[in-house]
């Protein structure tokens, strides 16, 4: 088990899957997808996640490193510096955008629940869509699904040659 507060910046960005059991939407996502995780995001800087909540924003690790939570950290093998900067630049550009362009895609979640992944609000995203969007810009990730669930991305990473589990954290 790793300590999320001690991950060196050189290993970032990491893709992080979380399981937090106290929220209704989190429970609904896990129930519908029969998944181990209900959210995904990036660890972009020490002590700070970049996450699609009601709006896409930076949030402290403490929001997820707490009781009744589990985290799984994925790293991109052989991440080149230009790829790292590409991810940082795309994310930082979107973080500076209007709140309207960073809103959560609640209609997309309805589409996931109904099993019709094409239902969504154009321009808005839910967590796994946003993670997939940035990764699809990198070589070898072009085939990641645009409208995926956290479970779908986690399963895709298990088979992907450039992905490796960096570590796990649990509150137990």
The residue length of the chain stands at 172
Query: What angle in degrees, to the nearest 10, is found between the helix axes of 127-135 and 81-95?
Result: 140
What are the tens digits of pLDDT across the range 120-151? 888 888 889 999 999 999 999 999 988 888 88
- Domain at 4-170: CATH code: 3.90.1720.10
Are 95 and 57 spatial neighbours (Cβ–Cβ below 8 Å)?
Answer: yes
Instruction: Name which of 19-23, 39-43, 55-59, 167-171 the model is least confident about.
Output: 19-23
pTM of whole model > 0.85?
A: yes
What are the tens digits of pLDDT across the range 33-91? 566 778 899 999 999 999 998 999 999 999 999 888 899 999 999 999 999 999 999 99
Are 147 and 120 spatial neighbours (Cβ–Cβ below 8 Å)?
Answer: yes
């Amino acid at each position: 088990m790793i300590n999320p507060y001690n991950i060196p910046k050189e290993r970032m960005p990491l893709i992080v899957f979380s399981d937090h059991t106290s929220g209704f939407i989190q429970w609904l996502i896990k129930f519908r997808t029969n998944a181990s995780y209900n959210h995904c995001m990036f660890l972009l800087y020490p002590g700070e996640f970049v996450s699609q909540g009601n709006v896409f924003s930076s949030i402290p690790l403490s929001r997820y490193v707490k009781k009744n939570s589990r985290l799984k950290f994925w790293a991109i093998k052989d991440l080149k510096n230009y790829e790292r900067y590409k991810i940082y630049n795309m994310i930082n550009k979107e973080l500076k955008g209007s709140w309207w362009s960073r809103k959560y895609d609640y209609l997309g979640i309805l589409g996931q629940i109904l099993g019709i992944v094409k239902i969504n609000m154009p321009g808005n995203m839910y967590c796994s869509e946003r993670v997939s969007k940035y990764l699809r810009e990198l070589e070898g990730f072009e085939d990641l699904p645009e409208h995926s669930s956290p479970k779908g991305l986690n399963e895709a990473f298990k088979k992907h040659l450039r992905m490796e589990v960096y570590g796990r954290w649990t509150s137990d």
